[in-house]
Structure formats: C-alpha cells, structure tokens
Structure 1
Amino acid sequence: MSDYLARTTHILRRIDELAAISEDATGATVTRRFGTPAFVRGRDLVQRWFEAAGLEVRLDGIGNLRGRLASQRPGAKTFVLASHIDTVVNAGKYDGPLGVLMGLDLVERISQQGIALPFHIELMAFSDEEGVRFHTTYLGSKVVTGAFEPTLLQRADADGITLAQAIAEMGGNAATLATDALPADEWLGYFELHIEQGPVLWDNKVPIALVTAIAGQQRVELTWQGMAGHAGTVPMAMRQDALAATAEFVLAAEAFALGHGRGLVATVGQLRIPYAASNVIPGQVVHSFDLRSPDADQLAAAYAELQAEAKAIATRRGLDLDWQLVQYTAPVACDLGLNRLLGQAIAASGHAVVGLVSGAGHDAVPASAVAPATMAFIRCYKGISHNPLENVEAADVAAALEVAERFLLELKIKNEELKMA
C-alpha cells in the first residue's frame, strides 16, 4: 500500500496545481467552464503531463485531450479510461480531474513496467461534461461516441456566444466533429474513476464501490410570463406574479419527489428574473428544472405529472408558460462483465464489494451506447460535491488506485485468453 500512497501523493499534488487555474482571478474558487481561457490553460497543463508520460497526444475538434498508449497486437481494440476536466461554477477540485489524473498514473505505470497489452488504452480528458455554459451535458464524450448533434453548434451561452464560436475561440474545429468519433467496432470498453458525490461510502467507511447503473435525467427550461407592475399599487388579488408562480412550482416539484421516492429527485438550480427590482412585481422568470430517476417509467411519469402541474399553476394565476425540454438521457445499466472483473479486483484488494446506483450523470452514459461501460466510485468527504468543500482522503484514493490497477490487469488476462481460445 505504501507504493500506492506515494503515487496518490503525486496525483493529489497535480490536483492542487490544476485547481489553482480558475476563471476566478483571486484563486478563491475553482471555475473552469468549457472553452474559457481558464479551461484552456488547465487543459494545456494536463496535456504537458500526458506528453511527459510518453503518450501519443492529440486534441480533437471539441477540445477533448486524448492520449494513446498503443498495443503492438494487430487488430487490437481500444479500451478508454476517461473523465472530464471542466467544472461547475464555484466547484471542488476532484469532480472529474481526479479520474483523469488517476488514469494518467495507471497508464504511466503500465508504460514504465513495459507491460504488453492486448488492447490500446486511450486516456481521455473530456472538455465538457457538466454542461454549465451551454446547458447540455456530455459535449466531449458525445463527440467521441459519434452522438454529437450538429444543431447544438448554434446554441448560445449567457453572453450570446454560440457553441461554434466558442469552439473556434479555443482553437478547436467544428468541421472535424463527425470524424473525431472512435468507431463503435474499435471500442473494447470504457472505465471511469470518480468521486461518489454522495454520502453512502463516507457513512459506511468504504473506500470504493462499483457503479451498477446511472440514473436517467430530463432537463427543462421554463419561462413564466406574467405582468410586471408597481409593487405598491397593484392589489394582491389582481397580480400576475411570475416569481410567485415559480415558487409554487418549485415547492410542488419538491413535494412530488419527496412523496414518490425510489431515487426520484427534482431540482431547480438556476433562476433568472429580467429587469428585477425590489419595487417591481416580477413579470417574467426563466429557470432550469432537473428531474432524475434510475427508473425510466418513473422518470417519464414524473415528467408528465409535473409538466401538467406547471400548466395548472400558470392557468390559475393567469400566466403564459413555455416549457422547453433541453435534454433527455435514459437510465443506463453498467456492463455486467466489466462489473464482474471490477468486483473481483475490489475483493482481491481486501474490500467489501458494494454496488451503487449513480444519481449524477457521467460520460459513461454516452459511452455505454457504443461499448461495455462501467465506473468505480471513490469515497469523498461527507458526500459533498459541486462545492469548494469537496475533498478526498489519500488512503481512499490509494485503495481505488490499487483496485483499478488490478482491474486493468484482469482485463489484460481475460483478453489474452480470448485471443488464445
């Protein structure tokens, strides 16, 4: 374990170095949204680490950083190790980058030891998983898996900059996105290391778990259109208050999710009031709505019921409502074969084999459409994520590093046996 702890110290030192690069000039918070100058500086740093490890390195059109450790075996397929290096606003250090830098350590060790693999490894640092800037997740992994939708190029951020413009400004190339995909017949599988972003492992003092499934999600943008007016002169019973309607919907969604359970969660995390003032009745409110469940039927039923509830609120209050579905992602089950190998690696490393469903979305979702995919969760401090308090313990990272190394070696042995059969 001492070797893994020493390697972990190196990984965490790199995490700190990357976290020092932020859109916040004071360095007080970590923010690296897709395509921003801070994102590019951070990616350039990680690229230097990829190159120093001796990988075949390239940037694709969407800005994904891709490092290849090539197999000498003819006809070898590609096993992808990946996570993302973009962040939410006011983020923690570990969501995404930890998986990339642990993957880099694993590839470095394989290369240093001269281990001959029967498959290529492609280590990927995805440029956009969080979807903060353009309100759509998985831009990076959708390009790699061939699922990118060209219509997204015209989507604009809050400053009116389109995705196509952002790609050009960061030195990418929208014209190559269709050819940047790794063809489906060349994939062997996908593996991602990630902090849990939940409290189960922390509360149970378990360092690592295998992910059995990833919840589906629907992201919606709602616009409530009422009538702005003077806060002192319009009687309460005569108002068309868009913010009051929004508040009613937020509480209705919360109550619905609390009442239905089984992994259903509902969140309004972003809200905008145009022309807001303390003495003006809000005439318009635009806000996000994020609905998730590991059960596809439950997700669909909840979506329909909450949309109907929003329309009923608008009717009662005399408002117009625009309900726009921004993104739909179906629930995903992780690959049973890869999970069997991962479970064996966890047990061989002396840990209980714990399976968890991920409520958070991950790049494993688009990857699962083209290849067997799985993930391992690493315990994080109190399950806190998307928050500067996000943290990990070195012993847990070291334990996960050992498990991941065993997993890759088991995968090597399995594929060598298949070739000989």
Structure 2
Amino acid sequence: MEHYTERAARIMRRIEELAAISEDAQGITRRFGTPAFLQGSALVRSWMEASGLATRIDSIGNVRGRLVSQNPVAKTFVLASHIDTVVNAGKYDGPLGVLLGLDMLEHLMAQQVALPFHIELIAFSDEEGVRFHTTYLGSKVVAGSFDAGLLNRLDAHDISLADAITTIGGHPGHLTTDAIPAEDWLGYFEVHIEQGPVLWERQIPVALVAAIAGQQRVELTWRGMAGHAGTVPMELRQDALAGAAEFLLAVEQFGQTYKHVLVATVGKLEVRNAASNVIPGEVVCSLDMRSADAARLQVAYEELRNLTAAVAARRGLELDWNLIQYTAPVSCDAKLNNLLAQAITETGHEVVSLVSGAGHDAVPISAVAPATMLFVRCYKGISHNPLERVELPDLAATLPVTDRFLSLLIASY
C-alpha cells in the first residue's frame, strides 16, 4: 500500500501545481483558449514528455501523449479527461483523470509490458463549455463529430471560436484531421470524481459508472412591460420577473414530483435593465433537465414547455423558448464494465454501480468507441466549488483498481 500512497501523493502534487495556474488569483479558472489555459496545457504536456510519451497539441488544443505498440494492426485505447474548468472551480474535476492516467502509463512503462494496442492519453481542451457555451469541444474533435457551425460562435467579448482556435496555434480547417478514425478505436476509459455524495456517505472509494444521464438545456426569455413601480396598479402589470419566478417554483415542484427519474434546475436568472423602482420588463432564465431515461426526459421536456406557455399566457407575457443543448443518455460498454468490475472486486472493493447525472467526455466518445468510467469518492460530493477535494487514501485505493483494469484489458486483447 505504501507504493500506491507514494504514487497518489505525486498525482496530488501535480494537481496542486496545475491548480496554481488560473485566470484569477482568488480561485481556479481556466477557460478554453485563455493564457492560463495555455500555460496549464504546456505544463501537462511537459509531464507527458518527461514520462516518455510522444506528445502533440492538436488544433482544438487537446494535449495528446501516445504510447505506441509494435503490433502492426494495433488499434488505439484512450485514457482521458479534461483540463478546462468552470469559473471558481475545484482542483480535481477533470485534471484528476488526466494525471491519474499519466501515472497509469508511467507505471506500465516501468514494467516494460509489450502492448498489443496503442494507448493515447488525452487532456481535452474544453469539456465545461464555459467560454463559448459549447460542451465537449475537445472530445467531439477526437470523435469526429465536431460541428463546424460552431466556429462562428462568439464569446462575451465577441471573439469567435475560429479566432480563438487560431490564437492558440490551431487551424480551424484541420479539426477533422485530428479525429481518431472510428475503425481505429479500441475503447475509452475515464476516471473522474463522483461529483455526488453516494460514495462519501457509504465510505467506498470507487464506483463503476453504468450510464450517463441525458441532458436538455433551455434558455427562456420572458417579455412583459417595464413600468414605474409606484404608478402601475398591481392588476394591470405585465411583470416578467413574476412570470419567471412562478416558472422557477413550478420547475422545483416538477423535479420533486419525478425525483426518482429526473432532476430539473433553474440555475440562471437575469433581469434586464434592473432597478428597484422598475417593474421588470424582460427576464432571461435557464432550464436544465437530466435523466438516464430518454423517453422520460422527452416527456418532461414537453410537459414543462406546455406549463411554461400557460404561465406566460395567463400573465400576458411573451415567451421565447430556445433549446440550447440536447444530449441523449449513454450506457457504458458492457464488456469494458465487466473488466472494470472484475478489477474492483479483485482489489478488495464492493462493486457499486452509479448513473452519472453530470455530463462527461465519454458521451461523444461513446458514439464511436466502447467507453467505461470509474468514479472516485470526493469530499461530501462537492464539486464545481473550491471545496472540491479527493482524499489521499481514496486516490491510493483507486490506483490498484486502474492498474488491474489495464492489465485485464491487455490480457483480453
């Protein structure tokens, strides 16, 4: 166990070093294409190179390190996660999977194992989608499913995605050449913090991910009539904020009613031209719904859309309902999950199977390759928060699981 603790401590040191690179001094923020992001990418690449991997940065900014097999018909198995962050993030969401993957390969190379397939470690450039509201940019390029229409998408400073790619040294026209062809894929493995409280409450270090919930994200704009707060009678008002507030509470009640099959959240609320003495005339808010049941997710979408239209009509408000993102639920690959479950059992842990409510890069990759994921316990399930934390003993307990999984995969090839 001491050997695993030493390896875990080295991973932790690297995580801390990467976390020190941020757009602001008060927290951890590394959005796609920013100077802090580029500095972090360079650091991760330097670690890959020092370990002996053949490295490159592709046109979307993914950092890629490759361990090459001598097998002339070898396919590629990918270990990956992301290194971009949300604003004011924790240290472990994404980087844990990348740097644990690097440790796995360092351990494998030290054993001088003859690989029957190539292994590529990828630090995806954009999973969170904070800057351009475009989740999975990095993994979609690798999967060959990048939507070229996104190149015109603008950030808050009116910089296009195409210009951002050029600024970081990429070429928008070369994105398709950075994909791993579907016929070359062997599979995909991602280690990630749970971002939920199940493992923390049960005091179990790791869990098998059975599926990843589908998501639907909507932007709603409520338009009423702005007016003087002291002169417009209550019964004559068209208060956009009151309509949005009724909608928000209805979403919470809807989520409580169907809590066993879905979650629903309003996480953004913006009052345009807000003032304490003005009746709100325009409000923008969000809706985020998630479920592992595709049919239930679609039914919920229609039910909430109808409910929202009724609120707007009753209050005399105009409503724009704009679907921003739809991602179908994904089931992890049965064969790879069986190997991962065997590795968990053989290293002395109970096999706990969880559905991920958060999205992961495994979602777009699963369209072209078998994918599996391993969750690692995090402190109280807290994530997207500076309090996000992984305990050293849990990380040390994860390493024999991942080592064993890779050994079983090599032996099964």
TM-score band by shorter chain is: over 0.9
Q: 1: CA distance between counterparts of 2:253 and 2:161?
A: 36
Match of 2:180 among 160, 182, 207: 182
Residue number in structure 2 paired with 1:40: 38
Note if contact 2:55-2:66 (Cα within 8 Å) is conserved in structure 1.
yes
Aligned ranges for residues 112-127 of structure 1 at < 5 Å?
Answer: 112-127=110-125
Deviates more, 1:370-379 or 1:257-266: 257-266
Q: 1: CA distance between counterparts of 2:34 and 2:249?
A: 35
Which one-letter code corresponds to 1:325 in the other structure?
A: L
Shift of 1:38: 1.3
1:19 lines up with 2:19 in the alignment: yes
Residue number in structure 2 paired with 1:346: 344
| Equivalent pairs, count | 413
Normalising to structure 2: TM-score of the pair? 0.98
SS in structure 1 at match of 2:162: helix
Deviates more, 1:273-282 or 1:242-251: 273-282
Note if contact 1:264-1:291 (Cα within 8 Å) is conserved in structure 2.
yes
Aligned ranges for residues 399-410 of structure 1 at < 5 Å?
Answer: 399-410=397-408
Q: 2: CA distance between counterparts of 1:141 and 1:150?
A: 14
Shift of 1:47: 1.1
Which one-letter code corresponds to 2:200 in the other structure?
A: W
1:3 lines up with 2:3 in the alignment: yes
Aligned ranges for residues 293-308 of structure 1 at < 5 Å?
Answer: 293-308=291-306
Match of 1:212 among 207, 210, 214: 210
Change (3 A) 1:215 1:107: same
Which one-letter code corresponds to 1:11 in the other structure?
A: I
Q: Which runs of 5+ in 2 are unaligned?
A: none
Note if contact 1:64-1:126 (Cα within 8 Å) is conserved in structure 2.
yes
Match of 1:55 among 53, 56, 71: 53
Deviates more, 1:300-309 or 1:260-269: 260-269
Q: 1: CA distance between counterparts of 2:306 and 2:225?
A: 22
Residue number in structure 2 paired with 1:138: 136
Aligned ranges for residues 388-399 of structure 1 at < 5 Å?
Answer: 388-399=386-397
Shift of 1:163: 1.4
> How large is the RMSD of aligned CA atoms in angstroms?
1.0
Residue number in structure 2 paired with 1:154: 152
Q: 2: CA distance between counterparts of 1:202 and 1:412?
A: 31
Aligned ranges for residues 124-273 of structure 1 at < 5 Å?
Answer: 124-273=122-271
Which one-letter code corresponds to 1:385 in the other structure?
A: S
Normalising to structure 1: TM-score of the pair? 0.96
Shift of 1:215: 0.3
Note if contact 1:136-1:326 (Cα within 8 Å) is conserved in structure 2.
no
Residue number in structure 1 paired with 2:412: 414
SS in structure 2 at match of 1:313: helix
Shift of 1:316: 1.2
SS in structure 1 at match of 2:288: strand
Note if contact 1:263-1:359 (Cα within 8 Å) is conserved in structure 2.
no
Q: 1: CA distance between counterparts of 2:245 and 2:160?
A: 31
SS in structure 2 at match of 1:327: strand
Q: Which runs of 5+ in 1 are unaligned?
A: 416-421
Q: 2: CA distance between counterparts of 1:295 and 1:53?
A: 42
Deviations 1:70-105 (A, max 9, x none): 011111000000000011111110000000000011
Note if contact 2:261-2:296 (Cα within 8 Å) is conserved in structure 1.
no
Shift of 1:373: 0.3
Q: 2: CA distance between counterparts of 1:21 and 1:279?
A: 43
Q: 2: CA distance between counterparts of 1:13 and 1:363?
A: 24
Residue number in structure 2 paired with 1:86: 84
SS in structure 2 at match of 1:289: strand
Deviates more, 1:231-240 or 1:326-335: 231-240
Residue number in structure 2 paired with 1:418: none
Deviations 1:114-138 (A, max 9, x none): 1111010000000111112222211
Match of 1:379 among 356, 377, 380: 377
Deviations 1:363-411 (A, max 9, x none): 1111111011000000000111111110011111111111001000100
Shift of 1:169: 2.2
Change (3 A) 1:87 1:263: farther
Which one-letter code corresponds to 1:10 in the other structure?
A: R
Residue number in structure 2 paired with 1:326: 324
Shift of 1:263: 3.4
1:286 lines up with 2:293 in the alignment: no
Identical-residue share of aligned pairs (%): 67
